């Protein structure tokens, strides 16, 4: 596979033994990236790469960096420790019980390198495409498509009339209307009592003079007005009143009868 150059940054060249020491570790995006760069220097397809050789390259590179007192980030050292373990496992006689086997670990590392390499190339090919603003150009100031909102006011005739009703109601003078309660007026009671007094000749209780179909508030009102009417007739000397004691029934009869 051909590796396309990236257009945005210089890809660090695969380090030759001699200039390896010139390179700072900041050139790499992590240990996997460094491993991939070292692997490329083997100039074989990643499928055919010697993992043992790659491990050697990596460990040598890190050792040299440390000799030069370059600061080596922790994740590069973790990778170095893991690779040192992998190297010894690969070199020692195979232990069939070891799981995962060193060969499996090596295969995983190889697969990871292949995936990273694939994405590295994909990125390069993507960035090499005809890009807007670099290779192809758009209109600088297109007219643009615009939606212009036109306000449409809405109201119904009902809204209008009820609004006017409320205005009228607010502005009309406030009138308190007391609803008519059922009452017997003093005049009506006087008139009624005078008629009844002529019919009954003997003492009779005040309540006997009231129509029998009066009940509830109307009856209470009739008793009150008849009582006042009885007092008025007594004052005029037209009836006599008698009562045994306080709150006892009140009796009346025509005067002189």
Query: In whole angstroms, what is the distance from residue 249 CA to residue 123 CA?
Result: 116
Lateral strand order in the sheet of 204-205: 204-205, 250-254, 239-243
Both tokens assigned to 198: 């002529």
Indicate the residue among 33 and 232 with the shorter CB distance to another protein. 33
Indicate the residue among 37 and 225 with the shorter CB distance to another protein. 37
Indicate the residue among 47 and 235 with the shorter CB distance to another protein. 47
Both tokens assigned to 219: 């009856």
CB of residue 235 to another protein, shortest distance in Å: 48
CB of residue 10 to another protein, shortest distance in Å: 9
Indicate the residue among 91 and 257 with the shorter CB distance to another protein. 91
Q: Is 141 left (phi over 0), alpha (psi -120 to 50) or beta?
A: beta
Give the Cβ contact number of residue 15 at 10 Å.
20
Query: In whole angstroms, what is the distance from residue 202 CA to residue 196 CA?
Result: 12
Assess whether the previous peptide bond of 179 is cis (omega < 30° from 0).
no
CB of residue 150 to another protein, shortest distance in Å: 5
Instruction: Report helix angle 51-67 to 74-91, nearest 10.
Output: 140
DSSP string over 54-106:
HHHHHHHHHHHHHHTT----HHHHHHHHHHHHHHHHHHSPP-TT-SS-HHHHH
Cβ atoms of residues 98 and 89 within 8 Å? yes
Indicate the residue among 156 and 236 with the shorter CB distance to another protein. 156
Cβ atoms of residues 82 and 35 within 8 Å? no
Indicate the residue among 6 and 196 with the shorter CB distance to another protein. 6
Indicate the residue among 133 and 198 with the shorter CB distance to another protein. 133
CB of residue 115 to another protein, shortest distance in Å: 5
CB of residue 220 to another protein, shortest distance in Å: 31
CB of residue 70 to another protein, shortest distance in Å: 18
CB of residue 69 to another protein, shortest distance in Å: 24
């Amino acid at each position: 596979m051909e590796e396309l150059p990236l257009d945005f940054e210089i890809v660090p060249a695969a380090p030759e033994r001699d200039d390896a020491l010139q390179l700072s570790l900041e050139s790499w995006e992590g240990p996997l990236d460094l491993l991939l760069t070292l692997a490329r220097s083997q100039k074989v397809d990643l499928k055919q790469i010697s993992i043992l050789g790659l491990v050697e390259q990596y460990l040598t590179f890190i050792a040299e960096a440390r000799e030069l007192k370059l600061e080596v980030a922790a994740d590069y050292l973790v990778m170095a420790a893991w690779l040192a373990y992998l190297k010894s496992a690969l070199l020692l006689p195979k232990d069939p019980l070891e799981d995962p086997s060193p060969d499996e670990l090596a295969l995983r590392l190889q697969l990871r390198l292949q995936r990273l390499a694939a994405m590295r190339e994909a990125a390069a090919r993507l960035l090499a495409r005809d890009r807007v603003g670099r290779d192809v150009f758009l209109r600088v100031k297109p007219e643009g498509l615009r939606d212009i909102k036109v306000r449409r006011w809405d109201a119904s005739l009902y809204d209008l009339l009820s609004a006017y009703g409320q205005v009228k109601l607010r502005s009309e003078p406030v009138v308190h209307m007391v609803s008519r309660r059922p009452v017997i007026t003093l005049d009506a009671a006087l008139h009624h009592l005078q008629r009844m007094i002529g019919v009954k000749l003997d003492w009779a209780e005040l309540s006997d003079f009231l129509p029998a179909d009066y009940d509830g508030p109307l009856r209470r009102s009739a008793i009150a007005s008849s009582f006042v009417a009885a007092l008025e007739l007594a004052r005029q000397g037209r009836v006599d009143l008698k009562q045994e004691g306080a709150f006892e029934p009140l009796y009346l009869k025509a005067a002189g009868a």
